[in-house]
Structure 1
Amino acid sequence: MTASGDITIRPLAKEDARQIAGLLNNKNIWNNLRDYIPSPYSKKDALEFINGISEQDPRVTFAITYKNETCGVIGLIQQTDIYRLSAEIGYWVGEPYWGKGIATSALKLATDYGFEKLSLERIFAGTFSHNAASRRVLEKCGYKKEGVARSAVLKNNQILDEHKYAILKSDWIN
């Protein structure tokens, strides 16, 4: 478990399933996530997700908690082959927890974990063109915009640009 004030990232547990399902069964969240995440999102979906990541070694997917309440998920997807020192980071925070700095704190914790525990050299993220809030979170954490992939994604039957961000271990100041 890693903490910063009231915010922690910790391994997900079966007990998180109800809360995750309740928060993730929300179009405002789902509109910013990849389509492999079902919508509507059920407790069964949450349990399958938690069971599917329970054997991660090293652990790369975490619950985000605020004042000991599960409020989101953050994870690193380690790359392979010549990209093996890089990881894509993704995160979401439930709508009732927006505007509290939770995503920023969680991203700092997970970025630190990626560089310190996983020995990564680069962590990157992509955001859909309409997700300015996520871009602000990345920028607050020192991620630099590397470009915009024009018409790169299809979400909700709309073709969108994807804004690409990254941070290097050598630039990471915790």
Structure 2
Amino acid sequence: MHPRVLLRELKQEDVPIIAELANNIKIFNNVRDAFGHPYTEENAQRFFEHQAESDTEVVFAIETDGKLCGLCGLILQDDVYGKSAEVGYWLGEPFWGKGIATSAIGLLVSHAFKEFKLIRLYAGVFEYNSGSMRVLEKVGFVKEGISRKAVFKNGKFWDEHRYAVLKI
């Protein structure tokens, strides 16, 4: 775990930094199409405003050494899935490979279980994103299965690897 990683609330002044970091095809290739590419400051502003109004999405800025380096969050589920949440995250490319994502997701898992009284967290990862799979595995997520050709991204069908961690 990276010792200088913290999660904090999003702030208006984060918008230009989010836009700068998120405007990267390598990030877009590993997230849902709604994320968008190119990713502009207007996209970041709309995202910021949406988060302020959402009661089902909880998003945190990932910060290391005082610098915003990405985002992570939860999509809270409802009805019979009300004790579960989907985990999502991305990190700006300059911060890859430094243990930051692993630390951030570890913090997010602890927060989710403690503050939201959740029992299960899950994440879907595109078949070619082995780095994200390693991040999840390092913080205790277990691969539950593979949904074959479940994702249509960049004109091709891909498998989605589904990971989950349970509060024990």
TM-score of the two chains, using structure 1 as the length reference = 0.93
RMSD of the TM alignment (CA)? 1.3
Distance 1:131 1:58 in 2: 26
Q: Report the CA distance between 1:153 and its aligned residue.
A: 0.5
Separation in 2, partners of 1:20, 1:119: 29
Deviations 1:102-145 (A, max 9, x none): 10000000000110000000000010000000000000001000
Equivalences for residues 45-56 of structure 1 within 5 A? 45-56=43-54
Q: Could you tell which deviates more after superposition, 51-60 or 67-76?
A: 51-60
CA distance in structure 1 between the aligned counterparts of 2:71 and 2:93, rounded to whole angstroms:
13
CA distance in 2, matches of 1:89, 1:44: 24
Instruction: Find the partner of 2:13 among 9, 12, 15.
Output: 15
CA distance in 1, matches of 2:33, 2:151: 11
Mapped to 2, the partners of 1:59 and 1:83 lie a distance apart of: 15
Q: What secondary structure sits across from 2:33 in the alignment? A: coil
Residue segments in structure 2 that go unaligned for 5+ positions in a row: none
Partner of 2:65: 67
After the TM superposition, which residues 15-164 of structure 1 pair with which residues of structure 2 at under 5 Å, given as runs? 15-56=13-54, 60-164=58-162
Shift of 1:5: 2.5
Deviation at 1:53, TM superposition (A): 0.8
Q: Which amino acid aligns with 1:115?
A: F
State the Cα distance separating 1:56 from its structure 2 match: 4.5
Distance 1:13 1:52 in 2: 13
Q: Which amino acid aligns with 1:156?
A: N
Q: How many residues align?
A: 167
SS in structure 2 of the partner of residue 54 of structure 1:
helix
- Deviations along 1:38-78, whole A, 9 cap, x unmatched? 11001111011111112455872111011111110001001
Query: Which amino acid letter does the alignment assign opposite residue 42 of structure 2?
Result: K
Structure 1 gaps, min length 5: none
Query: TM-score, structure 2 length as denominator?
Result: 0.96
**Amino acid of the structure 1 residue aligned with 2:131:** A
| Deviations 1:9-42 (CA, angstroms, capped at 9, x unpaired) | 1111111111111111000011000011111001
